[in-house]
Structure formats: structure tokens, C-alpha cells
Chains A and B, each alone.
Chain A
Amino acid sequence: MSEDNVIEVSNLRKLFPVRTGFLRTLFSKQQSYVRAVDGISFDIKTKEIFGLAGESGSGKTTAGRLVLKIIDPTSGKIFFKGKNITAFTRKDMKPLRQKMQTVFQDPYESLNPRKNVKDILAEGLRIQKLVNSEKEAEDRVIKILEDVKLVPPEEFVTRFPHQLSGGQRQRVAVARTFILNPEFVVADEPISMLDVSIRAEILNLFLNLVDEFNVSILYITHDLATARHMCHRIAVMYLGKIMEMGTAEDIVYEPLHPYTKALILAVPVPDPKSRRTKLAVYGEIPSPINPPPGCRFHTRCPIAEEICQKEEPELVAKGKDHYVACHKAG
């Protein structure tokens, strides 16, 4: 456990039991589980943006919720600034909530339509008792609105979510998170519901706030192109496992795992002269209930051999800060 890690996660696992009918529970021998997150380890350093990338069903959102202790892990450990918070109860977590925050995906859903911007932003301050007076709360609200470039702030405090555009809503959602001065923020696909022309402004806002607020971010996304522009390091997940982890440059330019290679090949490149060639990977992600034995990717892998069907590869170092879980890589 190193001191400059804000978050450290080791061997984290979350199995959701599959609910079956009454008769099936009577007669079936064993309970089956959705292995949403199945033994992942990573750490996030101070002021680092760490990307968790993967297709839908890879377990990236569950991982984010586990780290924040919104749900409890089945096994594994979570450390926040050196403190083991795995067994913390809701009550234990409450003072930490100020330090560990999240930005949700959909600003159309995540803001209370009955509250105005000021109340949305001040709610967290009041709950965490970070302000002594209404005046102080108001000052903090004005300040954060300026930080997220909703100016002039006086004009926005009285507005309701329906009076804001999509980009402005997501700015309010970001402001609600950062007004508490968090040290760690989980951003779960914060731009996927926004229009293309305003995505960049939210991403740039994140980059600015990381500088300003001394915060670390777990950036969850399915889009490797934005992950590459946002993150220092990226972990690629597949069916609950980390397949490859490394610096954004290594992942994009020197991917080692055939899955990472396929993902990068599948990202359309805005250059008509370099149209992509034949796809390397067929089929779709299998069900996380009873994932394939051995390497989970072997059913779709173009270079799979016998060993891949039997033995599960470990995540091993293949260079400085570059880890890969593949029998045949490197």
C-alpha cells in the first residue's frame, strides 16, 4: 500500500446471484451468479485520471460502484488513502462521501426537476454540514458555478433543470460533485448522453478541474478514443476481468492483448484515407453467467490455442507500467 495512491483495489469481486423461479431453486443443485467483476486490482494516484474501458457487460460500471461502496463487494479489498474501507458501513461511509464523489451518465435523469440549481448544488453542502449559514452556502454555489463556467452565476442559481441545455445540465452535475471538494471522483460515461459538439467542453472541464481541485478520477467509458485523450492510464476490461492495463500511449500504440487490438481497430478513425481493413474479431461478448473457462476471450480470439481454453492467464507485467493477461502476448 503506497501512500500516494488515493484508491487501491485488490482482487475485487462482485457476484450477483441469478434469481430463478421457485421450482428451479428447489431442484437445481447450485446457485448461478453473474460474475460482474471477477478479481480486479488497480490503483489510482493523486491527480491521476484512470480509465476503465470496455464493452457493455464488461463490469466497468459495477467496478465504479464498488469502489464508491454504493454496493458491497463479494470479496477483495478497497483502500481509500491507505485506509481499508471494504467493511465500512453506510454510517462509516457518510463522512467519506464528501471525499469520494461521482458524476452520473445522464444529466437529464440525475438532476431533480423540482429543485433549482442553487438547491441542487447546496444540498450536498448542507448534508455534509460543510457550511454554517445560508449565506456561506450561497457563496460556495456562486463560486463553483464560476468554476464550471456557468456565467454569470446569478443568472443560473434560480433556474430549474428544464431551463438548461444538455451541456449546462451536465455542468451543474459536475459542479454538484466538485462543490464538496472531493479527492476522488468516479465519472461514469459523463458525455455519452450529450451532443457531439458539446462533449469536448465537458471533457475539458474535467481536465481543468483535476488541475484546480487536486482530485483523482476514475473515468469509465466504452470509448477508447476519448479515454486516450483524457486518461493517464487505461485498464481494458472484458467479462469482469482486466485484460490489459498500461499508460494511454501504450494501450493505443502498443496494445498487447488481442482484445485491446480488436477494440482499437474497431474505433472508426476520422480519416477517409486510412479506412479500416478486415475486422479481427467476430461475435459478441458472451454472457457473464458462466463465462468461458480458461481465458474469457478465447471464444472470440483470433490467436487462441489449446492452453487458452484451459488455463486462465494472469495479469503480468510486460514492461514498465504495462500489464497484460494473455498466454500469447509478448
Chain B
Amino acid sequence: MPLLDVENLRTYYLTRKGPVKAVDGVGFQVKEGQAMGLAGESGCGKTTVAMSIMKILPSRGRITEGKILLKDLDIVKISEKEMKKIRWKRISLVFQGAMNALDPLYSLGDQIVEAILTHEPRFNKKDARKRAEELLELVGMERKRIKSYPHELSGGMRQRGLIAMALSCKPELLIADEPGTALDVIVQAQVLSILEDLRKKLNLAVILITHDLSIIADTCDKAAIMYAGKIVEYVDVLDLFEDPLHPYTQGLIHAFPNIKSARTRMSSIPGSPPDLLDPPQGCRFHPRCMYAMNICKKEEPTLTKKGEKEHLAACHLYVNI
């Protein structure tokens, strides 16, 4: 049984102009100890997926349909009180934007201690502090950094601090939202390698949210590519670059320069992502797709399996294969 099984999740933001369908029928699974990459452009709904799993949607956000099964517990249905027992203790989140996610008025230690005490009532303050020190060591920081305030920490250290905080109650699943963005390449590589080490050491399941496919290639086992609120391809990372099926995935791969490959012209995907208040009919990618056929404008493709492996794509090109 997978640790996390998301089925047909729909999360809408209710606005005066109508619902913004930020996540519209998303499904995927994450097994224990597995790393799954969730990739897509900004506005494709990847952060909304993370917030839905944590049930920390902004007040206008609603999960209108679908299941989020953590083992056999459907967390869509449970109350906020029950959710509190799951949040941080079973699923936790490393927030996007290390620079702004910490409170500048409290030391890093205080913030980690607060997280521990909130979620683990049996801990006293002294134990929590000890645990916070251990956590900092776990993410490769000095114990004395417990006293540092965010402004005394560099970007990389803040990001490590956030990871330490997310791990404070020994979760089974860690969601990391753009953990490398806004950091320098060397520091980004350090942070990603810490996540990778922790995953192996603690047998953590990780959902890594990013717009950078090369980061997924570097750290994940599975990849789900999102476009306009839908998963368009779900694939083993090894096959993602060898045999990408969906034209959007292919486009994304070509849009990224590979430092090691010959100097070529990169190609971009024409157009821009659709307005989710009024997404295009049929396949949401069809206005930007170079293979678009008549059927793509009318009928929405479903995620279907291609071949023997667990390789799914939502594209009419592969219906009869």
C-alpha cells in the first residue's frame, strides 16, 4: 500500500468571477521512502497540491472533490482537530522561499521548539531544545546556531533550518516546495544533497515541488508533470528524459539547457499558460501544442498507461498505442 494516495483531487479557489480551478483532477501515489518530483510552471497548481495535502489552503480555497489517502485514512474528510494530529507529525512541509518563511523576531531555536511543543505535547521545553539541537546537527549545522536569529543566517542555513523544523516531529512524508529556488547553485546543491541523505537515513517519503526538471532528474525516483491544474505525465525518472510522451513534457525538456550537451538552440513552448478561471476546452495544452488534432479541442484526454511500465500520459496521441 502506498503511503500517500491522491485520487482525483480538485481544489478550487472561489472568487467573485467564479472558481479558479487550480487543481483539477490530480492523482498520484508516493510509496514509503520514495521521492516524487512534482514539476510545472508557475501557476500550474503544484503548490496548491501541497497545501491541499497539508490542509492549509487559504480561506477561499476548497477541496471540492477527491481523496487524499494517508495509508487508509482519508484526510479530506477528517476534522481540523484530527488534522492537527497528522500535520507535522506524519506530513510536514518545507515552505517555499527560505528567505521569508522564518519569523525575524524569534531565534531559530525558539521557532523549532515551538513547532515541537505544538505538535508533541508530551515534550517539555528542555527536551524540545535538545531535540532542536539534534535536528540542526542532522541538517549539517552547528548546535550553537540554535541561538541565531534569521538575519544572522545565510540563505542556505535558513533553508536548512526550515528543513530541520519540518523534521522536528519525525514525519513519514516531507513536502519540499521549491527548496532550491532563490539559492545559489552551490548552496542549492548542498541543500538538495542534504534532503537526499535525510531521505535515505530516515526512510522519508519526499514530494519535491520544482519548476526545474534537472533537479528532479538529480534527486527523484518518480516524476509527475503538471500543466494547468492537471497531471499530464506520470513517469519513472529514468524514462522521463529517455522517452517523454506528452508534448508539454517534451517542450519543457528542450526548454532547459544542459550544461554538458553541445551548444544548440533551445526551443521554447509558444504561448503562455491558460487562465484557470476559464481553461480551454478539451486538452488544456492544445492551444500551445504543435501536434494538436481536432479531437484535442473537444475531448479531454485521460491519464492512460503506455506500454508495460508505469508510464502514464494524458494525450490523445497515445490513445491507441
A and B from one complex: yes
Cβ-based interface call for B184 (8 A): yes
- Minimum Cβ distance to chain B for residue A252 (Å): 6
The answer to whether the Cβ of B266 comes within 8 Å of any Cβ in the partner chain is yes
In chain A, positions 259-291 with a C-beta closer than 8 Å to chain B are 262-276, 279, 281-282, 284-285
Q: A270-B241, A271-B217, A271-B241 are in contact. Are A198 and B272 (CB under 8 A)?
A: yes
Specify the chain A residue showing the minimal Cβ separation from B254: A200
Q: Are B272 and A165 in contact (CB under 8 A)?
A: yes
Binds B, one of A67-75, A83-91, A152-160, A220-228: A220-228
**A270 & B214 in contact (Cβ 8 Å cutoff):** yes
Partner pick for B188 among A248, A252, A266, A272, CB 8 A cutoff: A266
Query: For B269, what are the chain A residues with a Cβ–Cβ distance below 8 Å?
Result: 197-198
Of the stretches A32-40, A103-111, A201-209, A318-326, the one at the interface is A201-209
Contact with A along B188-221 (1 / 0, CB 8 A): 1110110000000000000000011111011100
Per the bound structure, the CA–CA distance linking A224 and B184 in Å amounts to 11
Of B192, B218, B264, which is within 8 A of A229 by CB? B264
B268, A201: Cβ atoms closer than 8 Å: yes
Count of chain B residues near A, Cβ 8 A: 47
| Complex alpha-carbon distance, A222 and B182, angstroms | 11
Q: List the B side residues contacting A272 at CB < 8 Å.
A: 217-218, 237-238, 240-241
Whether B238 lies near A279 (C-beta < 8 A) is no
For residue B105, CB closer than 8 A to chain A, the reply is: no
Inter-chain contact A284/B156, CB cutoff 8 Å: yes
Report the nearest B residue to A280, measured CB to CB: B186
> Which residues of chain B are within 8 angstroms of A56 by Cβ–Cβ distance?
184
In the complex formed, the residue of B with least CB distance to A231 is B263
Chain B residues lying within 8 Å of A195, measured Cβ to Cβ, are 41-42, 211, 272-273
B272–chain A nearest beta-carbon distance, Å = 4
CB distance from B251 to the nearest CB of A (A): 6
The 8 Å CB contact of B255, one of A200, A207, A265, is A200
In the complex, whether A312 has a CB less than 8 A from a CB of chain B is no
Interface size on A, as a range, is 35 or more
B118 contacts chain A at the CB level, 8 A cutoff: no
Q: Contact check, A228 vs B259: say whether CB atoms are below 8 A apart.
A: yes
Interface: A166 (CB within 8 A): yes
Contacts of A264 in B (CB 8 A): 259
Interface residues of B in 27-80 (CB under 8 A from A): 41-42
* CA A265 to CA B189, docked complex, whole Å: 9
Which residues of chain A are near B212, meaning CB under 8 Å?
196, 268
Interface of B is mostly: helix
**A268 close to B184 (CB less than 8 A):** no
Contact among B187, B214, B264 for A284, CB-based, below 8 A:
B187
Alpha-carbon separation in the docked complex, A263 to B251 (Å): 26
Tell me whether A99 is interfacial, beta carbon within 8 Å. Answer: no
Contacting pair B185 A55 (CB below 8 A): yes
Complex CA gap A204/B257 in Å reads 12
Report the separation of the CA atoms of residues A124 and B146 in the bound assembly, to the nearest whole angstrom.
Answer: 53
Contact pick for B258, options A199, A266, A270, CB 8 Å: A270
Across the interface, A197 reaches (CB within 8 A) one of B241, B252, B263, namely B252
Contact of B272 with A225 in the complex, beta carbons under 8 Å: no
A269 near B255: Cβ-Cβ < 8 Å: no
Which of B252, B259, B265 sits near A196, CB closer than 8 Å? Answer: B252
Query: Is there a chain B Cβ closer than 8 Å to A167's Cβ?
Result: yes
- Using CB atoms, name the residue of chain A closest to B155: A284
Q: Which residues of chain B are near A225, meaning CB under 8 Å?
A: 256-259
Which A residues lie within 8 Å of B100 (CB)? none
B276 within 8 A of A: no
Residue of B nearest to A208 (CB): B265
B154 within 8 A of A: yes
Residues of chain A within 8 A of B272, CB atoms compared = 165-168, 195, 197-198
Let me know if A222 and B185 touch, CB within 8 A: yes
Contact among A197, A201, A267 for B259, CB-based, below 8 A: A267
B185 and A263 within 8 A (CB):
yes
Q: Which residue of B lies closest to A204 (CB)?
A: B265
Q: What CA separation (Å) do A199 and B42 show in the bound complex? A: 13
Q: Of residues A224, A228, A252, A282, which shows the largest number of chain B Cβ atoms within 10 Å of its Cβ?
A: A228
- Distance, CA A192 to CA B188, complexed state (A): 16
Shortest beta-carbon distance, A215 to chain B, in Å?
Answer: 18
Cβ of B116 to closest chain A Cβ, rounded Å: 27
The answer to whether B184 touches A222, judged by C-beta atoms less than 8 angstroms apart, is yes
**Does B17 make an interface contact (CB < 8 A)?**
no
Q: Is there contact, CB below 8 Å, between A268 and B268?
A: no
Q: Would A197 and B41 count as touching, CB distance under 8 A?
A: yes
Expressed in whole angstroms, the minimum distance between the Cβ of A232 and any Cβ of chain B is 10
The 9 closest A-B pairs by CB, nearest first: A200-B268, A200-B266, A201-B268, A268-B214, A266-B189, A270-B214, A55-B184, A225-B259, A197-B269
Given contacts A272-B218, A281-B186, 14 further A-B contacts (CB under 8 A): A200-B254, A204-B267, A204-B268, A222-B184, A222-B185, A224-B259, A228-B263, A229-B263, A268-B215, A271-B217, A272-B238, A272-B241, A275-B217, A284-B155
19 contacts between A and B (CB under 8 A): A195-B211, A198-B272, A200-B254, A203-B266, A207-B265, A222-B185, A228-B257, A262-B186, A264-B259, A268-B215, A270-B214, A270-B241, A271-B217, A272-B217, A272-B241, A275-B217, A279-B186, A279-B190, A284-B184
